Amino acid sequence: MISTLKSQFLSFGLLRQGLIGIAIASMLLPMAEWVLVLFAGELSERSILSISAGLIVPVMAPILIVVLLLDMIMSRVRAADDPGSSGDLHRAISRFQTILIVIMLVFWIPFFVSLTS
């Protein structure tokens, strides 16, 4: 089963894999900063990690969610056009991206809610 998932992920295409990787990195970078602060103490405000995790990644997260939604819509369109094996691939892509979008929303919504309170 893992080999099937791996082969399916490899068939997603390089740009889509990059988009998924950036989306996953946008969730891992704030956690990496938190772990580093936990073990090494407070970071400098000018460090690359604190700037990227505190300023760049929260701005990029909603943009990534929108781009993933657009790519998911295009995958649905391609799946509707071709009911064969290509359609199965695009349905798998849209399912994977739906799961990723839900995970990103669960990860980022508490951050944005904390900004308003």
3-class secondary structure, 7: helix
Where residue 25 falls among pLDDT bands split at 50, 70, 90?
A: very high
Q: What's the angle, vertex CA 99, arms to CA 95 and CA 101, rounded to 5?
A: 115
Residue 114 has pLDDT above 80, yes or no: yes
In the chain, domain spans: 2-109
pLDDT digits (tens, 9 = 90+) for 36-90: 877 877 777 677 777 787 788 899 999 999 999 999 999 999 988 887 777 888 8
Sign of CA dihedral 50, 53, 59, 60: positive
